[in-house]
Amino acid sequence: MGELTALPNLGKVLKAQLTEAGITTSEELLKSGSREAWLRIFAFDSSACYNRLLALEGAIRGVRYHLLPQEVKAELKEFYALHKPPKQKRG
């Protein structure tokens, strides 16, 4: 089984969040996919952001997240926009 920390973009914090989400190996991350993994993390950490989603996708693809193709980034941005909480109005 592959170590999560061997993947790009996954530091201690994101690895700990994946573990809390029930994803403990690179194979489990690959099987769940970035979107499902992000949703699991978002369920207990509402600060899970778009960059975290990109980091997960990059880890699955074996690249730094900033090297993901623009069309992939656009698809993930659309997914993120559908699932993030609405911004609270101040006042």
Length of the chain: 91
Q: Helix, strand or coil for residue 25?
A: coil
Distance separating alpha carbons of residues 24 and 3, to the nearest angstrom: 8
The reported pTM is 0.90
Q: What is the pLDDT of residue 91?
A: 55
Query: Do the Cβ atoms of 27 and 1 come closer than 8 Å?
Result: yes
Q: How far apart are the first and last CA of the chain?
A: 51
State yes or no: pLDDT of 88 exceeds 90.
Answer: no
pLDDT of res. 5: 79
Confidence bin at 70 (pLDDT 50/70/90): very high
